[in-house]
Structure 1
């Protein structure tokens, strides 16, 4: 049974959904953290099937609306990765305090941007395990550049020179953000860039979603590096990816997380397990984004239950 709950995090009140299996003994738990943008407790339709399977496996599950989304107060556009990590820790503390939940075996699951969030939270708090799904191993600026380059490859008749010009415009925006340029200057960069006609719609769609507040949010976030957090982990980490992810450079991300796992300063409990599901997308879905990849739920459940149960 899923119930609506609320809990506080600093100066915001977060709303979410909690499901605790009816068991005689306390059960492990998991907090699920959504991806970028205005993600709600269901992360669109991605979380419900995962939540159901984890519940069937005997885990308590809590997911919540990002600050300023759904029934949560606050404003995600005014937040930072640190703020989101504080929210994840608040959710973790709330779940651990629930009757019937075994606090010491309750961990974190983060999708995409949520992966950066749970890595930051796990690097700072005592967490028994952490799962990231589709989490880039590099900065948002590098990941977004990859996503743009991948999208450019789908445009018929686009030359390599056209792609280079478009990516150069993106690079100028990133550099403008790094030196603190305002939204007006960023808009002038976009309008003055010689973006080829073949990609004007694509780039225009990207920029049409950006206003002054989103530009400021992007500037704050664009150079967040998850690897220092990965180096500070003190618990096992499962990193899952869709092999056909068009938004995240999967091979490069795996390489970066693996290098962190091999660092001589890595905590001995901080093992790394990587699972890649061929032909699956950013949400490890296949069939045009309608079904989770075969074996994904089983793999996720087996890894978690293998850690939390003797």
Structure 2
């Protein structure tokens, strides 16, 4: 008779095979993550001199072997955003590269070691920054200076037309752009209260608090005055943030948008956006730009303010898993394809082939 394995040996065999299985599965998962987060483009760190400062950026270029490419200059929304937006821009850059366009983006001042502080900036400051980046790009032999356009999200809606007023641009992609700062703020407040199922009394109190803040802004109140008047309702406001809001709260893109007349503009809007009144944004863009016949509007019913799928964005776990294993699937269906097609159509309508 064949001797039975000893219990200790059997346990050892089970442990070894279990460990081997875990290692194989782990290696497979790591491989999937690396594959899904590899993009068909070349990336390089760049430095752009702007006044007495330096913009720390990333230039992502197609791998098609062509000597010159068009370029999309990225203009961030609100907040401390780095050049890649935590790698969130990379699926967009890949879509651009497949259409024959390079992408340029940089860290906001004070982010990721960049000099300065983005909270010290006005919308005009941000436009000047982008103009300097475009001048830098036009001097490069690998960039076609006649095919440089802009991509901007949310707060960038106040910056994009200011850039176009200072330097020629070939096109604009506006993602969930705001039009009027104060109106956008009120819309966001009410939308969030509705989403929270706020009571009538809470809604009334929040509106009163918002009105009080507006009055303080109108009379150019200091941060100390704000804290004194709002007391417990200061809600975590900092002196730097108050300065940023005070500097920019009168922003309104309506008149500035006229600088984009005749420029091809792709306006992308999410049906689940609670930050920006997309219906009002579409109305203003249509009224101002439709006369030039160059406005294209794309709507994404499940898209949030960031044009991510709401079903994913509302869950931290789903967002993390998608970012690791399928980053391109984060975005609303059709969003990446529509931007790539927009760029390809530009190429067909010009003498240059992207």
TM-score calculated relative to the size of structure 1: 0.88
Query: Aligned equivalents of 1:45 and 1:251: distance in 2?
Result: 29
2:79 alignment counterpart: 37
2:90 alignment counterpart: 48
- 1:247-279 deviations in Å (ceiling 9; x for gaps): 1111111111112125xxx6x4x7211111001
1:180 alignment counterpart: 220
2:288 is aligned with 1:248 = no
Distance 1:192 1:285, change over 3 A: closer
2:260 alignment counterpart: 233
2:149 alignment counterpart: 107
TM alignment of 1:181-196, pairs within 5 A: 181-191=221-231
- C-alpha root-mean-square deviation of aligned residues, in Å? 1.8
8 Å CA contact 1:31, 1:62 repeated in 2: yes
TM-score calculated relative to the size of structure 2: 0.77
2:346 is aligned with 1:307 = yes
The 3-state SS of whatever aligns with 2:159 is helix
How far apart are 1:55 and its partner, in Å? Answer: 1.4
Distance 1:113 1:304, change over 3 A: same
2:307 alignment counterpart: 284
Query: Aligned equivalents of 1:241 and 1:294: distance in 2?
Result: 12
- 1:114-157 deviations in Å (ceiling 9; x for gaps): 232122101332111111101112x222212211111111334x
- Gap runs ≥5 in structure 1: 194-203
The 3-state SS of whatever aligns with 2:84 is coil
8 Å CA contact 2:99, 2:341 repeated in 1: no
Query: Aligned equivalents of 1:94 and 1:308: distance in 2?
Result: 23
Query: Aligned equivalents of 1:189 and 1:132: distance in 2?
Result: 37
Moved more, 71-80 or 248-257: 71-80
Query: Aligned equivalents of 1:113 and 1:192: distance in 2?
Result: 28
1:3 alignment counterpart: 44
Query: Aligned equivalents of 2:166 and 2:226: distance in 1?
Result: 35
The 3-state SS of whatever aligns with 1:38 is coil
How far apart are 1:25 and its partner, in Å? Answer: 4.3
Distance 1:6 1:71, change over 3 A: farther
8 Å CA contact 2:269, 2:299 repeated in 1: yes
The 3-state SS of whatever aligns with 1:153 is helix
Q: Which has the larger radius of gyration?
A: 2
Query: Aligned equivalents of 1:189 and 1:148: distance in 2?
Result: 20
Query: Aligned equivalents of 2:86 and 2:254: distance in 1?
Result: 28
The 3-state SS of whatever aligns with 2:151 is strand
User: Per residue, is there more helix in 1 or in 2?
Assistant: 2
- 1:6-41 deviations in Å (ceiling 9; x for gaps): 001222210011122243342211111111121111
8 Å CA contact 2:269, 2:307 repeated in 1: yes
1:260 alignment counterpart: 288
1:27 alignment counterpart: 69
1:201 alignment counterpart: none
- Runs of 4+ in structure 1 off by over 3 angstroms are none
2:123 is aligned with 1:84 = no
User: How many residue pairs get matched?
Assistant: 290
